[in-house]
Structure 1
Amino acid sequence: MPSNNSSSKGPVVPDWVKPELFEQTLKDTVKNYKKILKFKVSPGTRPGDNYVTIMLRVEVDVELTDNTTKSISYMLKTARKSAEYGETFGNSEFNIFDTERDMFTNVVQEFKDMYKKAGLEVEFGAKCYKLDIKEDHIILEDLKAKGFRPTERLAGLNKEHTLSVLKKLAQWHAASATRVAVKGPYPEHLNKGLFTEEGKALLKGLSEGAIKYILKSYETIEGHEVYYEAVKNMKEHIMDHIWQVGQVDPNEFNVLNHNDCWLSNIMFQYDEQNQLLDTYLVDYQLYQNKRI
């Protein structure tokens, strides 16, 4: 019998994450799929990673129609069941899971198709699927199986990795601008992202919740006295600055921005000799069409 296990450390696996829920996804993605033999769920992030959602790795051993077995893994992103998450996201009409799924299944595919038509094979992220359940979620292919891994964020990036990230962003921005020229404006929820009246409360919660931790972190930096008070005084009107930055100027060159491009949202692919092959962006939740 398949079992639903989770690590003693890390997030609690939601009750609805059961083997039978993955049957259709397995049928759609695994050639000659027959049945599930083993089912395991474990934390999908490293200790210290800071994400607003829960990331889980789903590992499945399946039997194929020729009686051989195969191991498959997925990354499952779900909502946190906490008061803080509810206060920040629960009252907003902006659903980060719907937005991210739309990005993966529609926008990313449009960009890939445009590059393919131009004679280039360009990938931007993992393949995305959907489970037949009402719970907020995103299910993605596990990039680890393709040799992808995150970098050590505290160490930063060397020149090679930095150039790879910039190249991927340039490819994304070019495709996003071309897509508007060819197909017209993006849907309203992508044009404005969180920068709507409904999203104001969410942005306020995110920014005001973060500022106290930013100030605490600054206290550990030598020479922070020079700018500490300025940042502290900005707390009262930081939302005004964020709102101003997020407004689209039709007279500017606008592209579809990631809005959360930092080291924890970038994956690097390596070959067996540890040579860098490609770079993918992850977390497609906060995209917005605006100037670079």
Structure 2
Amino acid sequence: MESTTNGTTLDPNLYNADELVPPKWINGEFFESVLKTAKKGDIKKILNFNITPASAKGDHYASIMFRTIVQYLDKSDIQQEISLIVKTMPEEEGTKKDFLSDAPIFQVEIQMFDEILPKFEEMLRSVGDNTILSAKMLYHTLNPRKVIVLEDITKKGFSAIGKRMCTIEEAKMALEKLAKWHACSYVLNEETNGSLEKLTNGIYNMSGLKTDWFTKGVERVAQLAHETPKLHKYAEKLDQVKHLIMPKCYKTYEISKDKININVLTHGDFHAKNLMFKINPKTQLSEEVMLIDFQLSVWCSMVTDLLYFIYLTIELESREKYFEELIYYFFSIFRDTLKLLNYKGKIPTFSDLHTDMLTLCHVEIYLATTLLPFMVSLLENPQKEPNDILSYVDKQYECYQSQMYIDQIQPILERLLNRGYFDNVIDYKDEE
């Protein structure tokens, strides 16, 4: 099916299906409201606007997004132009809408853009660090529809990473900003008597997590281990934990509140497609990064962000080679930022971090057996959308049987086995 947006024919192979045609309410009246808010009334008339999808097929999931170039007259009758990103909820019936319908993701993201991220940046500036974490929100509303309008940072030279994974240099760039974010939240939460602890909705307690893809990962890897000679040695351990991982995942935020040493406000969905890099035109290397998409930010252990990022953002060879180095790099910046912010409490130690990793070992097992095969399948088949995997249950096990995934999961299972992570889950099964 072909679709046109303001006379432009869009290729359905390049964009998400639900972004080929914008909702009818995204019109001149809507943009007049947006610009009057963003420009504080300094607008006389909308002249024209052109709407296109804001990202490539498969680049995001938890919203639909459009890029709009709006031409308008200001109060002095001077013609101006602005590029905007409009985020809203999917309106088409289907898996995507069902997955997101009950989650307070827009309320969380609005709070992040409106209150929390500006406060983090203010805290850093007060100690001489001019880090900018994200784009700016220009407009938002929850009624009659959930909508967020952001500045378009592609106009500042930033672009999405596309179908590739991050280089180690890009990973460190992103982890540096994440570490500073975590440190700011650690300090701010204490100064505001636990205000950030009210953010309790993340990926592990979304109702959509209870669908087949998200609940059967460990079971499918256990089956794969029985069927694949190079994975046979892990089959017994996987059988022993396959019914224990999801109950522990559902309690991740509860466990964090009660037991984890280093709780922070996490990004919650920190991977390559939620980063935008600015490329130096001469060297073709990334020189700056912006974080995007804060719909799943939740108060819990920093380990959840750290492991999520390493598993879903870095290719296999680099992941295993630099695993420990990246963790050390991130945590060192976290500690240094606490000191820079003149934090007066006890600064967490590396021992605390490793305790967190062991306590939340079920999260790493979940990532390796459930979200990693999802990511590998999308990398192997760039034409696929997330819905193509989530909607066809009968085809899902094929993602696990791919040679690329088998090659990735073997060294991971070896590391998890040798760290005693499977045994730790088994030993504490009676707590569930």
Q: What TM-score comes out, normalization by structure 1 length?
A: 0.81
1:203 to 189, 209, 212: 209
Counterpart for residue 79 of structure 2: 69
* Structure 1 residue 113 corresponds to structure 2 residue 113: no
- Give the counterpart of 2:201 among 180, 190, 193: 193
Name 1:124's counterpart in structure 2: 133
Identity over aligned residues, as a percent?
27
Which structure 2 residues correspond to residues 38-49 of structure 1 after superposition, within 5 A?
38-49=48-59
**Pairwise CA distance, 1:68:** 3.6
1:104 aligns with 2:87: no
Give the one of 257, 262, 287 matched to 2:297: 287
Secondary structure at the aligned position of 2:65 is classed as strand
Q: 1:209 to 1:291 in 2, by over 3 A?
A: closer
Instruction: Report whether the alignment pairs 1:79 with 2:85.
Output: no
Residue from 7, 10, 27 that aligns with 2:36: 27
**Secondary structure, in 3 states, of the residue corresponding to 1:17?**
coil
- Per the TM alignment, residue 238 of structure 1 is displaced from its structure 2 partner at its CA by 4.2
Paired residues of 1:39 and 1:61 also in contact (CA < 8 A): yes
Pick which of 280-289 and 59-68 moved more: 59-68
Structure 1 residue 119: deviation in Å?
A: 2.3
Report the Cα offset of residue 250 of structure 1. Answer: 5.3
> Which secondary structure does the structure 2 equivalent of 1:286 belong to?
coil
CA-to-partner distance for each residue in 1:36-92, whole Å, 9 max, x for gaps?
A: 1111211111123241321111221223344443321111111112232343233x3
Give the aligned partner of residue 277 of structure 1.
287
Query: Which structure has more helix as a fraction of its residues?
Result: 2
Indicate the SS of the match to 2:85.
strand
Q: Deviations over 1:85-116 (max 9, x none)?
A: 343233x3x31111111111111111111112
Q: Which residue of 2 aligns with 1:243?
A: 250
Aligned match of 2:67: 57
Equivalent residue letter for 1:135: R
Write the letter of the residue equivalent to 2:33: Q
Whole-angstrom CA distance in 2 between matches of 1:209 and 1:40: 41
Partner of 2:44, secondary structure, is strand
How many pairs align? Answer: 279
Show the counterpart of 2:154.
144
State how far apart, in whole Å, the 1-side matches of 2:70 and 2:248 are.
46
Aligned equivalents of 2:229 and 2:77: distance in 1?
Answer: 65
Shift of 1:233: 8.7
Please state whether the residue corresponding to 2:36 is helix, strand or coil: helix
Pair 1:172-2:181 in alignment = yes
Question: How many Å apart are 1:235 and its aligned residue?
Answer: 6.4
Higher strand share: 1
Evaluate the alpha carbon distance shift between residue 200 and residue 130 of structure 1 in structure 2; reply closer, same or farther with a 3 A threshold. closer
Superimposed CA distance per residue, residues 144-191 of structure 1 (whole angstroms, 9 cap, x where no aligned partner):
01111112343x22232122111111111111101112222125541x
Structure 2 CA distance for aligned equivalents of residues 100 and 79 of structure 1 = 13
1:88 partner amino acid: F
List alignment gaps of at least 5 residues for structure 2: 303-432
- Three-state SS of the structure 1 residue aligned to 2:81 is strand
The alignment partner of 1:33 has SS state of coil
Taking only aligned residues, the RMSD between alpha carbons, in angstroms, comes to 3.3
Distance 1:160 1:208, change over 3 A: closer
Matched, 1:184 2:198: no
Render the CA deviation track for 1:241-292: whole Å, top value 9, x for unaligned: 3124333235512111112111101111235545533211111011111122
Counterparts of 2:106 and 2:212, CA distance in 1: 17
Question: What is the DSSP-based 3-state SS (H/G/I as helix, E as strand, rest coil) of the residue aligned with 2:68?
Answer: strand
Measured in 2, the distance between the counterparts of 1:170 and 1:113 equals 16
**Which shows bigger deviation, 127-136 or 227-236?**
227-236
**1:177–1:256 Cα contact (<8 Å) kept:** yes
In structure 1, the gaps of 5 or more residues are none
Q: In structure 2, how many angstroms separate the alpha carbons of the residues matched to 1:158 and 1:24?
A: 41
Contact in 2 for aligned 1:78/1:136 (Cα 8 Å)? yes
**2-side partners of 1:285 and 1:17: how far apart?**
21
